Amino acid sequence: MKSNKKLAVWMPVIVAVAFVIGLYIGANLFKNGPEWNTRVKIGEIMDLISDQYVDEVNTDSILEASIPDILAKLDPHTVYIPASELQGTNEALDGSFGGIGVVFTMMNDTATVMEVVSGGPAEKVGVLAGDRIVTVNDSIVAGIKLDSESLRKKLKGPKGSSVLIGIKRSNSSELLSFDVVRGDIPVNAVDASYMIRPGIGYIRINKFGRTTYMEFMNAMVSLRAEGARKIILDLRGNTGGYMEPAILMANEFLGVGMPIVSTHGRTGNIESDFSGDGQGAFGDTELVVVIDEGSASASEIFAGAIQDNDRGLIVGRRSFGKGLVQRQIELPDSSAIRLTTARYYTPSGRCIQKPYTLGSAEDYELEIYTRFDKGEGFSADSIKVDTTKIYSTASGRTVYGGGGIMPDVYVASDTAGITPYYIKVFNAGMLHRYAFLFTDINRDALTSATSVLELMDMLPQDEILLNEFIEFARTEGNIPPRWYYINISRDLIVRQLKSLIASDVLGQPALFEVSNEGDPAIMRAIQELKQGNAVAPITGKPQK
């Protein structure tokens, strides 16, 4: 009630100041005319509020609260980042953060270590997967309903500082203490890299950060050494990041002079223009790029460069459609604005930015759900392309602008096995809980496995695993069996249980090794490569 009263008092002030700041930002960012009067108005209004407003208010706080609302009147990708959030926002793309190097999950109000980052601080002092974190710096963190983010904040801190954690381990009756010195923890962009079939390598990339290009190159070199001459590059759900890694990756597949991407600012003039330098290491590699509605920005730059140069095959569903370039401008108080300064264009000249209305960020984000409502996720015939924006690839194939990258080979969203029973056990977290419990009980035996193949041979038969899970969901989640639906969801449930167990035992890459075997888009990518449909030799001639 108190918070609502405060909001009622502050709202008229925030709205008024937001209007004035809007005039100020408009004058400074988007007009060339005099700014003196607008600045005077802002100062006068702030003085009036400070001197005469009925309640005492912090005008700096009002301004801070108003900035996001002002920027929300622009395009959906121009945003304000408060100083308190800037470091965390940058960490995800910069490739490291200060911490102890564990992946944990909250189980029964206690954080259980699921994975210890190789080479990280926690591994160096002996923390193991399966350990329960009971105390942090002598403060109890178990059994008190502490959420994951609060515990994460306790574990993170300045590099070089120490944190004392108390651990409960299954083979010890005493609480174990570990003094961990916080350090840089790699934030990997490559989720998985392995030989999915003889001669075919698979790489999944989750973002385009500062380390993405080097991680990609390491994965490619390793796969080539194992005999991969064909590659599946999985960019589904990759929302982008920095443009430079996408350009560098595309260059590895393209010939000299082959265009990659260009950016145009407000006047329409080319601000930057990137083409292949002829030094790429993988010009002879057959390539399939897998995308979906979650692939955006830098993912679309890479996919667009490959598609427009006819250099590989794009498989999946239409990408998000983000063709705007942001520049992050840090302000004197260590906050920042990510300001849209240009549009990017693929080699054929198309901008794949989907339509938007200024100030309509919510509608813009909901567009993905609208696609599925109209059937686009399940039928290629439901996709509506903008026939006023027609372009041609290097070989003359027709492609469209104005709404994402259209795949060369459409693969519908996989709904096989999705039933009311599956949705209920999934939403209740039963799959994850059972997989963790199974792993925890059998950890000593399972950790002897050195590969996914070895691990799968150690698991119970599918029927046994399924029945044990159904009983677990009944007793622990109060979810009764519904056999009609269970029989439909059988394969999906078993595959997900196996992939989660593999992740718990061998780490996240193993999850994809298991789950990919039932993934229609990946299976189609393998088929296209085997049939030679992704062959596109480099001619070395630039596109005209």
Q: DSSP string of 443-493?
A: HHHHTT--SHHHHHHHSPPHHHHHHHHHHHHHHHH-----HHHHHHHHHHH
Please tell me whether residue 536 adopts helix, strand or coil conformation: coil
Cα torsion angle, 68, 70, 73, 75, sign: negative
d(CA 308, CA 406): 11
Global model pTM greater than 0.85:
no
Pairing of strands 132-136, 270-275: unpaired
The set of long-range contacts for 168-175, using a CB threshold of 8 Å and a minimum separation of 24, is: 168/131, 168/132, 168/134, 168/142, 169/128, 169/130, 169/131, 169/132, 170/130, 170/440, 170/443, 175/134, 175/135
Q: How many CA atoms lie within 13 A of 354 on its CB side?
A: 26
The reply to whether 322 belongs to the active site is yes
Is residue 297 part of the annotated active site? The answer reads yes
Exactly one of 66, 131, 234, 322 is catalytic; name it.
322
Catalytic residue, from 131, 234, 292, 308: name it.
308
Known catalytic membership, residue 335: no
Catalytic residue among 66, 193, 297, 299: 297
> Residue 118 to residues 103, 125, 186, 197: CA-CA distances in angstroms?
11, 12, 9, 27
Bridge partners, 493 (sequence order)? none
How would you write the pLDDT of the chain (544 residues) with one tens digit per residue? Answer: 444 544 444 555 554 555 545 545 554 544 444 455 777 887 788 889 888 888 888 887 877 778 888 788 888 888 888 887 777 666 666 666 678 888 787 767 788 887 777 667 887 778 887 789 999 998 999 988 888 878 888 898 888 889 999 999 877 778 888 889 888 777 789 999 999 999 999 999 999 988 999 999 999 999 999 999 999 999 999 989 899 999 999 999 999 999 999 999 887 776 889 999 999 999 999 999 999 999 999 999 999 999 999 999 999 999 999 998 888 888 888 888 888 889 999 999 999 998 887 766 667 777 888 888 888 888 888 888 888 999 999 999 999 998 899 999 999 999 889 999 999 998 888 898 899 889 989 988 999 999 999 999 999 999 999 999 999 999 999 999 999 999 999 999 999 999 999 988 998 899 999 999 999 999 999 999 999 998 655 543 333 3
Residue type, 226: E
